[in-house]
């Protein structure tokens, strides 16, 4: 170390005196530093003083360099944190291995979604780069669904199964067991959504839909890495569209006079919470079960107490009970779509949510 200090001192301060330039000094340092040492009188008190001074300067330089290096490390680690995938990834989902390598001429990824909104989300992410099918027939909702041999075949042919989660697909384990399918990547799109009362109807709020789209994108990017850039770009564009929809709903709901409503079944909890409405009561207490007289009595009390002027039915059903309550209390009946059934296409989700928004605007003004 002493020698090193000395050579530096020599290089900086004595080079002119000894007729040595900086470059050939380094050359000497590397190849023949003993010779250079011999040229300096180490006992000379001035040289010794300069050597100590240089030692201090060099120590400061080293410490400064150390601090700079650590700051650089911190910046690098922070920026790598920012590049990590969205926080909704993998909470309910196991790690996903790549399934297709993405070489030219390789077959398309086969994706099966359970309900129509998930088909709409996935189609917007993949475009024509994957084959997408929806499990539920267009007229059947997830609460009353029982699978057919054709549905078992759909599972057998799929690489990836995209489900809503929150136990909406309570029949799923049986269906997969019937298909005898071992290698199936299952994506739970509810991962990262804040669940309320174990209610599965998360898709009815576009804020949740954005999280579901992110979860689907993460899974597809990992499964089919050859198309990862296209999937990410498409998802980004689609999420922008959903954000526009979200803003539009908020602006319209802010203008509504009445904020409380009664729905047929508890599907609009998330929508109401996210946009400042209140699902004051639901007529059907449990899916697929007739409401009890006691429950109907409490719904009527709520309607009277909140001054509710309209109740909501659903397009796929014509519940006599809704008509009876409306007649008794002189209420108007409107139809809200829970998006549980239908023949989806890419814009289907946005179209249906906007149609519901129009119904809210008519019913709650
Ligand atoms: Zn439902």
Q: Is the pLDDT of residue 33 over 50?
A: no
Do residues 197 and 259 both lie within one domain?
no
How confident is the model at residue 35, as a pLDDT?
37
Bridge partners of residue 161, in order along the sequence: 112, 186
Give the Cβ contact number of residue 311 at 10 Å.
24
Q: Is the pLDDT of residue 220 over 50?
A: yes
Instruction: Give the span between the Cα atoms of 266 and 166, in whole angstroms.
Output: 14
How confident is the model at residue 148, as a pLDDT?
94
Do residues 134 and 263 both lie within one domain?
no
Examine residue 153 and state whether it is found in any structural domain, yes or no: yes
Q: Is the pLDDT of residue 356 over 80?
A: yes
Query: 193: phi > 0 → left, psi -120 to 50 → alpha, else beta; which?
Result: beta
Do residues 216 and 233 both lie within one domain?
yes
Do residues 267 and 160 both lie within one domain?
no
Examine residue 96 and state whether it is found in any structural domain, yes or no: no
CA 143 / ligand 1 centre spacing (Å): 6
pTM > 0.75: yes or no? no
CA 264 / ligand 1 centre spacing (Å): 10
Examine residue 58 and state whether it is found in any structural domain, yes or no: yes
Final residue of a domain: which of 228, 247, 266?
247
CA 342 / ligand 1 centre spacing (Å): 13
Please list the alpha-helical segments (H only) found in 16-106: 22-39, 45-82
Q: Is the pLDDT of residue 28 over 50?
A: no
Do residues 114 and 240 both lie within one domain?
yes
Instruction: Give the span between the Cα atoms of 313 and 158, in whole angstroms.
Output: 35
Q: Is the pLDDT of residue 225 over 60?
A: yes
Examine residue 277 and state whether it is found in any structural domain, yes or no: yes
Instruction: Give the span between the Cα atoms of 148 and 160, in whole angstroms.
Output: 19
Distances in whole angstroms, Cα of residue 228 to Cα of each of 125, 218, 219: 10, 9, 10
Q: Is the pLDDT of residue 254 over 50?
A: yes
Give the Cβ contact number of residue 54 at 10 Å.
17
Do residues 241 and 273 both lie within one domain?
no
Instruction: Give the span between the Cα atoms of 331 and 328, in whole angstroms.
Output: 8
Q: Is the pLDDT of residue 181 over 90?
A: no
How confident is the model at residue 151, as a pLDDT?
95
Give the torsion sign (CA, 219, 222, 224, 227).
positive
Q: Say what percent of the chain tops pLDDT 90.
A: 61
Instruction: Give the span between the Cα atoms of 357 and 83, in whole angstroms.
Output: 36
Do residues 262 and 354 both lie within one domain?
yes
Examine residue 199 and state whether it is found in any structural domain, yes or no: yes
Give the single-character DSSP code of 310: E
Maximum C-alpha span of the chain? 113
How confident is the model at residue 285, as a pLDDT?
83
Bridge partners of residue 262, in order along the sequence: 281, 311
Q: Average pLDDT for residues 291-316, to the nearest whole number?
A: 90
How confident is the model at residue 25, as a pLDDT?
41
Tens digit of pLDDT for each residue in 125-158? 999 999 999 999 999 999 989 999 999 999 999 9
Pairing of strands 185-188, 160-163: parallel
Do residues 236 and 262 both lie within one domain?
no
Q: What's the number of domains the chain is made of?
A: 3
Question: What range defines the domain where residue 193 resides?
Answer: 109-247
Instruction: Give the span between the Cα atoms of 132 and 240, in whole angstroms.
Output: 22
Do residues 50 and 173 both lie within one domain?
no
CA 70 / ligand 1 centre spacing (Å): 54
Give the single-character DSSP code of 10: I
For residue 40, with 0-12 CB atoms within 10 Å meaning exposed, 13-18 middle and 19 or more buried, which class applies? middle
pLDDT confidence bin for 315, thresholds 50/70/90: confident
Examine residue 119 and state whether it is found in any structural domain, yes or no: yes
How confident is the model at residue 80, as a pLDDT?
37
CA 338 / ligand 1 centre spacing (Å): 7
Examine residue 56 and state whether it is found in any structural domain, yes or no: yes
Do residues 241 and 353 both lie within one domain?
no
Could you tell me which of 354, 362, 361 has the C-alpha nearest to residue 337?
354
Instruction: Give the span between the Cα atoms of 211 and 217, in whole angstroms.
Output: 10
CA 268 / ligand 1 centre spacing (Å): 9
Looking at residue 293, which CATH number applies to its domain? Answer: 3.40.50.1980
Final residue of a domain: which of 247, 271, 287?
247
Final residue of a domain: which of 247, 282, 311?
247
Do residues 242 and 116 both lie within one domain?
yes
Examine residue 100 and state whether it is found in any structural domain, yes or no: no
Q: Which two tokens stand for residue 335?
A: 């139809």
Instruction: Give the span between the Cα atoms of 311 and 317, in whole angstroms.
Output: 14
Please tell me which residue, 21 or 112, carries the higher pLDDT value.
112
CA 288 / ligand 1 centre spacing (Å): 10
User: What integer best gives the mean pLDDT of the chain?
Assistant: 82
How confident is the model at residue 9, as a pLDDT?
40
CA 287 / ligand 1 centre spacing (Å): 7
Do residues 118 and 233 both lie within one domain?
yes
Could you tell me which of 322, 80, 111 has the C-alpha nearest to residue 231?
111
């Amino acid at each position: 170390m002493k020698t090193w200090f000395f050579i530096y001192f020599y290089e900086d301060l004595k080079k002119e005196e000894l007729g040595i330039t900086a470059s050939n000094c380094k050359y000497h340092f590397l190849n023949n530093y003993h010779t250079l040492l011999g040229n300096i009188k180490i006992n000379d008190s001035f040289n010794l003083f300069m050597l100590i001074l240089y030692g201090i300067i060099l120590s400061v330089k080293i410490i400064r360099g150390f601090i700079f290096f650590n700051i650089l490390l911190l910046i690098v680690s922070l920026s790598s944190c920012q590049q990590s995938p969205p926080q909704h990834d993998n909470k309910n989902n196991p790690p996903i291995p790549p399934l297709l390598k993405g070489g030219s001429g390789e077959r398309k990824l086969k994706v099966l979604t359970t309900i129509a909104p998930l088909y709409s989300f996935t189609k917007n992410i993949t475009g024509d780069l994957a084959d997408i099918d929806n499990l539920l027939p267009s007229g059947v909702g997830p609460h009353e669904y029982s699978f057919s041999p054709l549905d078992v075949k759909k599972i057998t042919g799929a690489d990836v199964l995209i489900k809503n989660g929150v136990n909406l697909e309570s029949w799923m384990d049986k269906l997969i067991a019937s298909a005898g399918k071992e290698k199936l990547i299952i994506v739970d799109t509810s991962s990262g959504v804040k669940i309320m009362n174990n209610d599965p109807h998360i898709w009815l709020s576009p804020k949740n839909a954005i999280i579901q789209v992110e979860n689907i994108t993460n899974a597809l990017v990992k499964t089919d890495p050859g198309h990862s850039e296209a999937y990410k770009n498409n998802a980004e564009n689609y999420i922008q569209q959903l954000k526009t929809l979200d803003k539009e709903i908020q602006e319209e709901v802010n203008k509504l006079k009445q904020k409380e409503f009664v729905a047929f079944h508890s599907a609009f909890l998330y929508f109401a919470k996210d946009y400042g409405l209140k699902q004051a009561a639901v007529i059907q207490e449990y899916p697929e079960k007739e409401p009890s007289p006691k429950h109907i009595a409490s719904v009527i009390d709520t309607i009277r107490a909140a001054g509710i002027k309209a109740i909501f039915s659903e397009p796929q059903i014509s519940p006599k009970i809704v008509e009876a309550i409306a007649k008794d209390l002189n209420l108007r009946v409107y139809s809200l779509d829970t998006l549980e059934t239908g023949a989806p296409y890419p814009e289907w989700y946005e179209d249906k949510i906007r149609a519901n928004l129009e119904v809210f605007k008519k019913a709650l003004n």
